[in-house]
Structure 1
Amino acid sequence: MDITADTTPDELVSTHRALRAAWQARKPDLDSRRADLERLREAFRAQVPAMDAAIRADFGHRSEHENLISEAMVVIAEIDHALAHLRRWARPRRAAVGWRFWPARAQVRPVPVGVVGILSPWNYPVNLALMPLVSAIAAGNHVYLKPSEHTPRTSAWLRQLLADVFPADRVAVALGGPEVGAAFAALPFDHLLFTGSTAVGRKVMAAAAPNLTPVTLELGGKAPAVVCPDFPIEKAAARIATGKWINAGQTCIGVDYVLVDAARRDAFVEAIGAELRARYGDIAASPDYTRIINDAQYARLQGYIDDAHARGLRVLTPLGEAASTGPEQSGRLLPPTLVIEPDAEAEVMRHEIFGPILPILSYRSLDEAIATIQRLPRPLSLYPFSHDDANVNRILDGILPGGVTVNDTLVHFGVHGLPFGGIGPSGIGAIHGRYGFETFSKLLPVFRQARWAGSDLIKPPYKGRIDRMIRWLAK
């Protein structure tokens, strides 16, 4: 098999049919699911160095340690979590029938749905491909994965890894560009998960609609951090710097902009600059600062900076400018950039940034900060910073995001007991842990009638005692 060859339209259809036929012929039981996950874990662990090399080559440069944290660690932890809890998740659960149906019994049985499609993105090309795959395998499905064309080396690595672990009719990988992705989304999957931008998510949902394919969409949005007056400014700057500049800001739940109380805005700007200098120093020589994935993304981000300059906004680069404004000369090295008090029409406030640019806005009251966030679509993540529960609860009561980390950033993504997903423009549905298992399952309701049943009596003609019984039950 050529692990780099694009998938043809005919191959898409035939592979999907083979996956479905194999699933229908023999649905994976719990023992086979556990064995699959254990093999995946061992193969993945052995291939982490090759994974790291592939990702770094695709990005031009990405921090090895960020690859270990954000790709290797979370995937292994997700597999371990599924292995530890799979039998309990798959066990039928009793459901109350209520006194009107006594002595019948009821249960909810998690059953696999069939063939799951996964469209994964480029920014965390292994994590966001394998974590949902783990859930789909744990739930007893077969899987067809289409990773991003923007990380071709990593996508080829994924194809080889999964071919070494699974039979071709259990897990398959399709490769190719937007045309392949569009055809993939139109296949009659039993469930389809897409991770990426809101704009492409709309297209995926439209492609799935003719087949009435259930979809889970993990999208994005402008995730705000709100620093309340009681929270230490240096600690807020340190934790926000992590949430912003990991992967050079190319993170769907990364901090998109910061709201800080007006009296401390300049102190926050200084603290962010100090934090960046301590972390990266000379970014051109730093092994820890990631490059922008491709020229198109670099040009988009540079356009946001140019727009801020054109508007006369205060634009700061605490670590200095890159060697050149062109991606070819700089190696797509875009330095951390701060934009102070952008207006609502600035490009950095009109779009999800998805890069190392951080708008910083001040507010005079917490109500004003909440109103600023409310004017934008519901975000995928929200980061309130306060040791005062009243402040945190006011923010949570006023804003409905996909997920929240209080007094830190990003961490809720790694907690397997929490659902991960957006709402509205930031997504539909949830994955991770049990929530991912149930997303890729049909929670089948089963009602078991007793030997004697009231329904034997409740039938026409509705007269006399039956009439009185129905009227009494309906009260």
Structure 2
Amino acid sequence: MNKSELNDLLIRQQAAFKKAPPSFEKRMQTLKKLSDVLEENKNSLIEAVFQDFGLRAREETLFLEIFPLQDEIRHAMKNLRNWMKRRYVPGAWFLLPSSAYYQFQPLGSVGIMGAWNYQVLLSLSPLVDAIAAGNHAILKPSEIAPASAAVIKEMINKNFPEEYIHCVTGDAGLARDFSSLAFDHIFFTGSTRVGKLVMEAAAPNLTPVTLELGGKSPAIIHHSYPVKLAAKRLMAGKLFNAGQTCVAPDYVIMPAAMNSEFERHAIETVQKFYPNINENDQYTSIINKDHHDRLNSLLEDATDKGARIVELGDKKADRDSRSITPKLVFNVSSEMQLMQEEIFGPVLPVLNIENMEDAVAYVNDHPKPLALYYFDNKKKRINWLLRNTLSGGVTINDTIYHLAQHNLPFGGVGASGMGHYHGFDGFKTFSKKRAVMHQKSLAASDLLHPPFTDLKKKLIQIMGRITKV
């Protein structure tokens, strides 16, 4: 599909929206249908994801993509009527007897650009929010995972009218054309580099954007926290999808005295999670050769600059050209490439900083991360860390799972993104919070119209004294 055809599709969607914005009943019917379609195509989606990665456990796709998506649909359907309610607010006293309220209204036709690492979830989860908010939508899954993109396209286009919900697929050129269209909102998930391009392309149309990006999400372990438990939870979060997760812990900060114990428990954990990892069909492959080569380049650069690489799985060669076994990296420095860019793979650097204040200072000296993980049982220190850092989200004493909380917003800050989604926050993202004031036939404000007589001047002076703090 070329840009002209894309634009024609958008125009048809916007015209259909203006004619009849989706009602509460239409939204509920669509969400239910999406749930049914997802269930009907579950096995095809799982197989397609497996094909894209070369190897990915069925259970991982179910647990990390299909189940959360179905639960998100359930949550939206349960709460949608309440989300759509008109909400009255106290009115300004000098505008009495007016009433004031706001209500959420759909934006129109929105564009959603998915990401390859969780193609099903990251393409369809924003769609759930867009449907709940009453929008029409065009999807563009990532071309890096073509098999799952093709299944999503077929299941969407077969079951929904194109003037309501439609899916298009294509290469990076199509993605550029897509992001330059005059959508009423664009939602993008991907890298910071591409996010900047999307925002640049959307700017001439003044199209608002939500950017769900990534970055280097740190994990800080306080010396008092049980190292075995920290290692277990860190490696679990790191190795979902072989580290190809935007909120995977990117590096660990802890005192040097914890290194040997952390290394031992990390090895034990990985060998328990993935026994015989080179033959284990539950350990995900790297998405393609380019990403595999990039990860190896990061490891070679770190080794050349004095790092110590610790193999956490079987001490054998990687099982094929698309696999990298889990590794810890010690003796890291800021000159190493793996400390300068998001790793997005099963490689976990360990940065030794001796106290919490210096650890927080290090995090704050770098771009704001999408996620921050802190392991500590002392409430006072936890609260201090929360006051003195800024990140998209935080999980205390675990990793990743804050994004599964439907009543919490998910989104980055600064270099890790802008805007939020999930639950009510996703509904708001795809809505206009529209302000309404309803004035009565007789109003106090009528007394303040020109000309400004002596009486009106006195009234204005009285207002000034009342409103002064």
- Give the alignment's TM-score, normalised by structure 1: 0.96
- State how far apart, in whole Å, the 1-side matches of 2:354 and 2:254 are: 9
- 1:240 maps to which residue? 234
- 2:164 maps to which residue? 170
- Residue 70 of structure 1 pairs with residue 64 of structure 2: yes
- 1:3 maps to which residue? none
- Residue 290 of structure 1 pairs with residue 284 of structure 2: yes
- 2:365 maps to which residue? 375
Q: SS at the partner of 1:11?
A: helix
- 1:279 maps to which residue? 273
**Matching residue within 171, 183, 186 for 2:180:** 186
Are the counterparts in 1 of residues 52 and 287 from structure 2 also a CA contact under 8 Å?
A: yes
Number of corresponding residues: 465
Deviation string, structure 1 residues 231-251 (Cα, Å, up to 9, x no partner) = 111110111011101000000
Q: SS at the partner of 1:409?
A: coil
How well do the aligned residues superpose, as a CA RMSD in angstroms? 1.1
Q: SS at the partner of 1:172?
A: strand
Are the counterparts in 2 of residues 321 and 335 from structure 1 also a CA contact under 8 Å?
A: no
- Residue 302 of structure 1 pairs with residue 292 of structure 2: no
Q: Give the alignment of 1:376-455 within 5 angstroms.
A: 376-455=366-445
Q: Give the alignment of 1:17-96 within 5 angstroms.
A: 17-96=11-90
- State how far apart, in whole Å, the 1-side matches of 2:95 and 2:280 are: 68
Alignment gaps of 5+ in structure 2: none
- 1:223 maps to which residue? 217
**Segment drifting more, 358-367 vs 412-421:** 358-367
Question: How far apart are 1:322 and its partner, in Å?
Answer: 5.5
Question: How far apart are 1:312 and its partner, in Å?
Answer: 2.1
User: Runs of 4 or more off by more than 6 Å in structure 1?
Assistant: none
Deviation string, structure 1 residues 250-301 (Cα, Å, up to 9, x no partner) = 0000100011223212211111111011111222211211000011111111
**Matching residue within 439, 442, 463 for 1:473:** 463
- Residue 153 of structure 1 pairs with residue 143 of structure 2: no
Question: How far apart are 1:98 and its partner, in Å?
Answer: 2.5
**Matching residue within 255, 259, 271 for 2:249:** 255
- State how far apart, in whole Å, the 2-side matches of 1:229 and 1:339 are: 19
Question: How far apart are 1:25 and its partner, in Å?
Answer: 1.4
- State how far apart, in whole Å, the 1-side matches of 2:440 and 2:235 are: 61
- 1:330 maps to which residue? 320
Deviation string, structure 1 residues 23-63 (Cα, Å, up to 9, x no partner) = 11111100010000001111111211111000000000112
- State how far apart, in whole Å, the 2-side matches of 1:354 and 1:180 are: 25
**Matching residue within 337, 341, 348 for 1:358:** 348
Are the counterparts in 1 of residues 271 and 313 from structure 2 also a CA contact under 8 Å?
A: yes
**Segment drifting more, 354-363 vs 29-38:** 354-363
Deviation string, structure 1 residues 83-123 (Cα, Å, up to 9, x no partner) = 00000001111121122222100110100000010111100
- Residue 266 of structure 1 pairs with residue 260 of structure 2: yes
Cα pair distance change 1:469/1:151, threshold 3 Å: same
Alignment gaps of 5+ in structure 1: 1-6
Cα pair distance change 1:300/1:24, threshold 3 Å: same
- State how far apart, in whole Å, the 1-side matches of 2:227 and 2:300 are: 29
Are the counterparts in 2 of residues 223 and 256 from structure 1 also a CA contact under 8 Å?
A: yes
Amino acid at match of 2:269: E
- 2:4 maps to which residue? 10
- State how far apart, in whole Å, the 2-side matches of 1:131 and 1:433 are: 10
Q: SS at the partner of 1:194?
A: strand
Amino acid at match of 2:387: D
Question: How far apart are 1:321 and its partner, in Å?
Answer: 5.2
- State how far apart, in whole Å, the 1-side matches of 2:271 and 2:313 are: 6
- State how far apart, in whole Å, the 2-side matches of 1:19 and 1:321 are: 55
- 2:452 maps to which residue? 462
Deviation string, structure 1 residues 135-177 (Cα, Å, up to 9, x no partner) = 0001110001110001111001001111233111111111111
Are the counterparts in 1 of residues 289 and 321 from structure 2 also a CA contact under 8 Å?
A: no
- State how far apart, in whole Å, the 1-side matches of 2:401 and 2:457 are: 59
Amino acid at match of 2:29: A
Q: SS at the partner of 2:396?
A: coil
Deviation string, structure 1 residues 319-354 (Cα, Å, up to 9, x no partner) = 145536xxxx81311111111031011111000101
Are the counterparts in 2 of residues 230 and 388 from structure 1 also a CA contact under 8 Å?
A: no
Are the counterparts in 1 of residues 109 and 185 from structure 2 also a CA contact under 8 Å?
A: yes
Q: SS at the partner of 1:259?
A: strand
- State how far apart, in whole Å, the 1-side matches of 2:420 and 2:159 are: 26
- State how far apart, in whole Å, the 2-side matches of 1:429 and 1:321 are: 43
- State how far apart, in whole Å, the 2-side matches of 1:269 and 1:348 are: 19
Cα pair distance change 1:284/1:50, threshold 3 Å: same
- State how far apart, in whole Å, the 2-side matches of 1:153 and 1:272 are: 34
- Give the alignment's TM-score, normalised by structure 2: 0.97
Q: SS at the partner of 1:284?
A: helix
Question: How far apart are 1:463 and its partner, in Å?
Answer: 2.0
- 1:137 maps to which residue? 131
Deviation string, structure 1 residues 411-470 (Cα, Å, up to 9, x no partner) = 110001000000010000100000000100001100000121122110222121110001
